[in-house]
Amino acid sequence: MKKLTPECLSIIPPRPQISHKGTFGRVVLIGGNQQYGGAIMMAAEACVRSGAGLVTVITDPVNHVALHARLPEVMVVNWYDLTSVQEIFETADVCLIGPGLGLEAHGQTLLSFVLNHQQAEQQLIIDGSGITLFAASSFTLPFSSQTIFTPHQMEWQRLSGLAIAQQSEEANKHAQHQLQATVVLKSHRTEIYSCGPTVQNPLGNPAMATGGMGDTLAGMIAGFLAQFSDKGAIQAAVYLHSYIGDLLAKERYVVLPTEISAALPYWMKKFSNS
Amino acid sequence: MKKLTPECLSIIPPRPQISHKGTFGRVVLIGGNQQYGGAIMMAAEACVRSGAGLVTVITDPVNHVALHARLPEVMVVNWYDLTSVQEIFETADVCLIGPGLGLEAHGQTLLSFVLNHQQAEQQLIIDGSGITLFAASSFTLPFSSQTIFTPHQMEWQRLSGLAIAQQSEEANKHAQHQLQATVVLKSHRTEIYSCGPTVQNPLGNPAMATGGMGDTLAGMIAGFLAQFSDKGAIQAAVYLHSYIGDLLAKERYVVLPTEISAALPYWMKKFSNS
Amino acid sequence: MKKLTPECLSIIPPRPQISHKGTFGRVVLIGGNQQYGGAIMMAAEACVRSGAGLVTVITDPVNHVALHARLPEVMVVNWYDLTSVQEIFETADVCLIGPGLGLEAHGQTLLSFVLNHQQAEQQLIIDGSGITLFAASSFTLPFSSQTIFTPHQMEWQRLSGLAIAQQSEEANKHAQHQLQATVVLKSHRTEIYSCGPTVQNPLGNPAMATGGMGDTLAGMIAGFLAQFSDKGAIQAAVYLHSYIGDLLAKERYVVLPTEISAALPYWMKKFSNS
Amino acid sequence: MKKLTPECLSIIPPRPQISHKGTFGRVVLIGGNQQYGGAIMMAAEACVRSGAGLVTVITDPVNHVALHARLPEVMVVNWYDLTSVQEIFETADVCLIGPGLGLEAHGQTLLSFVLNHQQAEQQLIIDGSGITLFAASSFTLPFSSQTIFTPHQMEWQRLSGLAIAQQSEEANKHAQHQLQATVVLKSHRTEIYSCGPTVQNPLGNPAMATGGMGDTLAGMIAGFLAQFSDKGAIQAAVYLHSYIGDLLAKERYVVLPTEISAALPYWMKKFSNS
């Protein structure tokens, strides 16, 4: 399997001189129930610090205050206010649904809403409980080629029907072919399955095995897709997430997800050669 | 068009030895609805860190806790409590209205209140949704020479009637002449239209094109006007905002607005020669 | 008038090896209404970072979350729950009342409670709106020799009846003699009036003239009194507050109060020779 | 009495390369009433930063927002929702109950729940008010050999019946033998009583005598037990807590508990030789 190399980061361009915040994309993040609100906060931090122009978080209102206390740079929408959800969703270039979404009925309502309203030009990332809900439903993807799933191995089992022990490259590739969506299969060596060749991330380390690390990766993928136009955005997000994690782990027994987000602007600058 | 130079920062004086917090101005900031609360938080951070003596934030009560968790240095007023709004407004040297204000009826109520109660010696900055509300209304400015609008190009279109493509220096100057207020027209090269010569900010960079950057500028202008007596305050705020942004962008792919605020006290000291 | 010198900091002892958190005092801070909650937060930060062993903040419940988000080291009590207020107050070595207390009826209730329940061994600091309320009432001090007022000049006018222009050393001394309490009269050169000789603080600078600076000083005085047994504690708090402020102002146009608190543990260690 | 040495930290292994967050344990923390919410926040920070894989905090809902504003890495559960409490508890490898739990009826309900539901493979730490409640009740420990009490001397008096003056090594050892649980008896020289030899921590300093220090230690013990399999985990947590405290105290008059947590990942890495 082809391994990602630092060259995959060359898709991070210098920013165009004549630009405004709209140039760098509108992202909507949906997730965070009463129990898992931290997940959508961590996704939002990653998304903002990866450079997305405008980020709105649609979440349980119980999470608004903590989110704003950490990150005034985002806008917030009460996820029970479906009129506002629709207004915001329509303006999005990229939508991430799933971090801390939970498995309750309202999570299903929101996932159903997103799948029913996705437009031809909108990219969609389905993460965390969003994957579990999708797997348990009869939903179909309206635009599979613009959809990315980011499961860990157990979520991939639910989505693909492949038990963890059966998740060989070939079987995964086959399952991806059925879905047509891109699959970022997270493990200690994350693999990306898509219409193109399968690639493996050679980076990452066990100090990153802590709650919230996947939410942070999902937020980065959303931010990268909002700014960088092709599939290379996903590879770059996956690679840089682990690249920073490996650097931080040189001096840390555990790397907190928010520490990766904090370091993002510095490393994106380095690799953009701008 | 004349370009701003570092000399414009020379209006930042050493602080007078015999002084107290009242010496450095009372500022009232009005904005932040349930969705856009972060905007008024970012304006407040910029205002406090620019050195304003006493800062009160009038906002939706949903924002009070997140604001105080970030910035205990401000006072807060529930924006539905119009008695308190009036009491505080009357004591203000400078009022900024607009960051995250929103377009709902209550935003209009507050803008109307401000325009009806502004006193001859109070300076007024109208930003963000405040501009959109003003443009859509039949409001008139009670003290246009003490009023500053800080539109981006689309807000300027609403306010001036000039489509973005028509926003030439001459046309903008003409529109400013109708308004009589000062106009800080934000773009990748911000321009300031006033009764004096038009000036352009030569600084700024695309890493600054992210949500909240304008709120931060508006908060800085409020803080500078509270302390420094003449029109030079606006030019200095615009220039220093980008000056810091350019410095931070040397090592960041995206510059968060709150990072500019954090750096303000250091750079104001440097340029004050105090 | 005698000026404070660095020697006044020699009352900061090395901490005794055999000790526990109770050794360093129990402090109760009362203040923070809905508008001025930040004031009691800043007092609490100063108190905790000055080394007080156990700090409880009695405040409007609207302030609990922001306070805990900044400072989990404190305990909180709802200031409307007078049973709990009494329980906590009885255990206190030092009580500070006033920062952000406000002038409403409940502030008066709490001040009245404190003056009615103060015990012979408890020290009491009355600051901010607590001074204004006291001045407007017919309250008397139960233990004036253990009471410290920390007015700025306008609050001192209310308390002493002396207009600012009349606040000469002699007049102030006379007014202090009537009160019998210690008076920390804050200005750009703070003076301390007590039964002993009057002393003046030669330090301080205009970068410190910003909202919250007095709340921070009040919190420091409370923390110092909880640990250090004599009147020297007040002098040391006043001096160190400005000493740190002067150091920080070398590189800042404005010094935020919370920045002084953050530096406290470092400078207390330096001066303790421990 | 045997003294702990740096060698006790050798039980911190390099992390296994092939691992995921579940590898590093599921921890449930129960505590934090309306008054003492900060205690459970500090325990949670210590637990997350010690490297536990997944941490859920069961607390009064009033504490959820402040906790998430500081630490989005944790999940939260409303402690009145006993169905959710049970679901989460069943998945835990380690449970800590007590920091800021309070002495009210609901604290007793939760402690009773835990003692009734503890499973054979779950480790249990009882701290703070949890100890006081246990001592005042007729509860018995279902799995004493997997239970750790972390009393300070007054709590140990309540638990053992030994007045502080009577707490000799021999008497403590005898009381521990009755309980069969491990006892971490906190003082300026903390001692650990268990089935094995009694050990004393030679480290620690009076700058650590401040509110929350014990909550932080309890959170570290929980995090260490979740990752490191034997009794050495407790010794290592006790030793490292003081080791970091001693280092920080070289430049601080008071060491805040959260500063110890912040330094944990760095020092665990150093001692893991990984």
Chain C closest-CA separation from residue A262 CA (Å): 19
pLDDT band at A67, cuts 50/70/90? very high
Q: What is the pTM of this model?
A: 0.97
Average pLDDT estimate for D54-70: 98
**Residue of B45, B75, B266 best to disrupt the C interface, most CBs of C under 10 A:** B75
Average pLDDT estimate for B71-79: 98
Cβ separation D266–A251 shorter than 8 A: yes
Binding positions of A for AMP? 186-190, 214
Average pLDDT estimate for D28-56: 98
Chain A closest-CA separation from residue D199 CA (Å): 26
Q: What is the pLDDT of residues A44-65, one digit of tens each?
A: 999 999 999 999 999 999 999 9
- State residue B21's pLDDT score: 87
Q: What is the pLDDT of residues C136-174, one digit of tens each?
A: 998 999 999 999 999 999 999 999 999 999 999 999 999
- Kindly state the DSSP code that residue A13 receives in the 8-state scheme: P
Q: Which residue matches tokens 């055999």?
A: C18
- State residue D273's pLDDT score: 73
Cβ separation A188–D77 shorter than 8 A: no
DSSP string covering chain D: -EEP-GGGGGG-PPPPSS--GGGG-EEEEE---SS-HHHHHHHHHHHHHTT-SEEEEEE-GGGHHHHHHH-TTSEEEETT-HHHHHHHHHT-SEEEE-TT--SSHHHHHHHHHHHHH--TT-EEEEETHHHHHHHTS----SSGGGEEEE-BHHHHHHHH---GGG--HHHHHHHHHHH-SEEEEBSTT-EEESSS--EE-----GGG-STTHHHHHHHHHHHHHHHS-STHHHHHHHHHHHHHHHHHHTT-SS--HHHHHHHHHHHHHHHHT-
What letter represents residue C189's amino acid?
Answer: R
Q: How far apart are CA A110 and CA A88, in angstroms?
A: 13
Planar angle of CA D46, D48, D50, nearest 5 degrees: 65
Q: How far apart are CA D145 and CA D141, in angstroms?
A: 9
Chain mean pLDDT for chain C: 96
Q: Which residues of B touch C211 (CB under 8 A)?
A: 21, 48, 53-55, 73-75
Q: What is the pLDDT of residues C93-113, one digit of tens each?
A: 999 999 999 999 999 999 999
Chain D closest-CA separation from residue A66 CA (Å): 4
Q: Which residues of C touch A66 (CB under 8 A)?
A: 69
Q: What is the pLDDT of residues D188-215, one digit of tens each?
A: 899 999 999 999 999 999 999 999 999 9
ipTM > 0.90 for the complex: yes
Q: What is the pLDDT of residues B3-57, one digit of tens each?
A: 999 999 999 999 999 888 889 999 999 999 999 999 999 999 999 999 999 999 9
**Residue of C11, C12, C17, C21 best to disrupt the D interface, most CBs of D under 10 A:** C21
- State residue A229's pLDDT score: 77
Average pLDDT estimate for A9-14: 95
Q: Which residues of B touch C65 (CB under 8 A)?
A: 65, 69
Instruction: Write out the two tokens for B210.
Output: 């992210």
First to last CA, chain C: 31
Cβ separation C187–B24 shorter than 8 A: no
- Residue B1, judged by CB atoms within 10 A of its CB (0-12, 13-18, 19+), counts as exposed
Residue A212 pLDDT greater than 60, yes or no: yes
Measured in degrees and rounded to the nearest 5, phi and psi for residue B237 equal -65, -45
- State residue A158's pLDDT score: 97
Q: Which residues of A touch B255 (CB under 8 A)?
A: 265
Q: Which residues of D touch A152 (CB under 8 A)?
A: 20
DSSP string covering B43-93: HHHHHHHTT-SEEEEEE-GGGHHHHHHH-TTSEEEETT-HHHHHHHHHT-S
Q: What is the pLDDT of residues C13-68, one digit of tens each?
A: 999 998 888 899 999 999 999 999 999 999 999 999 999 999 999 999 999 999 99
- State residue D274's pLDDT score: 52
Instruction: Between D43 and D188, name the one with better pLDDT.
Output: D43
Residue A40 pLDDT greater than 80, yes or no: yes
Q: Which residues of D touch C76 (CB under 8 A)?
A: 34-35, 37-38
Domains and CATH numbers, chain B: 22-272 (3.40.1190.20)
Instruction: Tell me if D152 is assigned to a ligand binding site.
Output: yes
Cβ separation B66–A72 shorter than 8 A: yes
Cβ separation B77–C209 shorter than 8 A: no
- State residue C5's pLDDT score: 97
Chain D residues with CB under 8 Å of a chain B CB are: 65-66, 69
- State residue D217's pLDDT score: 98
